[in-house]
Amino acid sequence: MKKSFRVLDPSEKISSEQIRPGLTYWKDAWRRLKKNKLAMVGLVVIALMTLFAIFGPMLTPYSYSDQIVGYANIPPRIQLMKADDTYFYFNGTQYSLYVSTKDGRLTQKLRESGRDLVNQKFYFTYGDETVTLDYSYKVRPDLADEGISYSIIFRDVEYKVPEGMVSNKLFPWGSDEFGRDVLTRVMYGARISLFIALVAALVNLIIGVIYGSIAGLEGGTVDNIMMRILDVIDSIPLLLYVILIMVILDDNSMFTVILTLGLVYWVGMARLVRGQVLGLKNQEFVLAARALGVSKAKIVLKHLIPNALGPIIVSITMMIPAAIFTEAFLSFIGLGASAPQSSWGTLANAAVAVFRSSFYQLVFPASAIAVTILAFNFFGDGLRSALDPKLRKG
């Protein structure tokens, strides 16, 4: 009988059944969030935009207010024409002529020495030479039939065929109407927009959470009074707040936008937190804390807010793009950051005047606004799915 049994080695006593390791609430939420591809793309874009705003201006030789006289409205891609051994660039919006290297770095703007508006000819001085920018096709139908836009006459030789389009090495995203680098200004605009978004998030977190928690926990008359105050605040249009603050402070700057968001943007968060607290305050763990004599402040900070943290985080994430758009809108209509500050809304407003000839000046700030808002929306939607048990699919 003894031969039917044997002593097992300790290593053989370990069960071969694989048990899934336990996950905390936040680890489980992160696991679910990683499965959402759009949310992760949004997170990556937010991280890149933050790096773009913080470190981008350190890598450019310009400041947001630096102007290079004579280099206005130069696009990101320039058309070169090789005349003799020299590369010239023509700025079609200004009738200006520049000397460029072969790879697209502008080195000199030629001084205009005269114009023949009848024959559509512009004369420039290049050292001891005269360079003629010839637009005769406008008054000579025979040249227009050949599809010639313009020609350059240099050292008595006429050059008609452009060398080709190259990237602008001096201004990678072009320059604005004052000769300022658009890329640098968009970088500084990202700083303003993301800073205002951060302020809106902090105001939401501090004022909204505390106000909503008190209203929900107290209930009764206190709750009714506090909610009616929110109704009054929410009934006044945002634009009216901005105008009133501008009149009172006699200030039209970024501070006006920040103060406006501080007065208004926490209202939605307060209502959300109040609803969460109303659902939690009659739970057993809150009743037990009250029975033990725990103060109301500790009940809010240690029990109610931590259990409502998921919806709070989602709400903050979704409010950030709204704050970015609000700042851009107010700056666009002239009520936010003013020149020479380079808010995205300010850049878009300045670009409208030259949109037909220099559309890139509107494309870059508008694209930055759209990409950032989409990234936050994708990330916020993914967070909501990961943190809300009712929306979990696996």
Greatest mean pLDDT range, 145-149, 238-242, 291-295, 344-348:
344-348
Segments making up each domain of the chain, as ranges? 77-167, 182-391
pLDDT more than 70, % of the chain: 88
Amino acid identity, position 228: R
Predicted pLDDT of residue 374: 93
Predicted pLDDT of residue 44: 94
* 267 vs 227: CA distance, rounded Å: 10
Q: Does 35 have pLDDT greater than 80?
A: yes
Q: Does 377 have pLDDT greater than 80?
A: yes
pTM strictly above 0.75: yes
pLDDT (average), residues 35-41: 90
CATH for the stretch 182-391: 1.10.3720.10
Please list the alpha-helical segments (H only) found in the chain: 25-35, 37-55, 141-145, 182-203, 209-218, 220-235, 238-249, 254-264, 267-280, 284-291, 296-299, 305-307, 309-332, 344-352, 360-387
Residue 246's Cβ-count burial label (10 Å; 0-12, 13-18, 19+) is: middle
Residue 65's pLDDT band (boundaries 50, 70, 90)? confident
CATH for the stretch 77-167: 2.40.128
* 105 vs 285: CA distance, rounded Å: 69
Predicted pLDDT of residue 249: 75
What confidence tens digit (pLDDT) does each residue in 247-274 have?
777 666 777 778 887 788 888 888 988 8
Strand partners, 165: 79
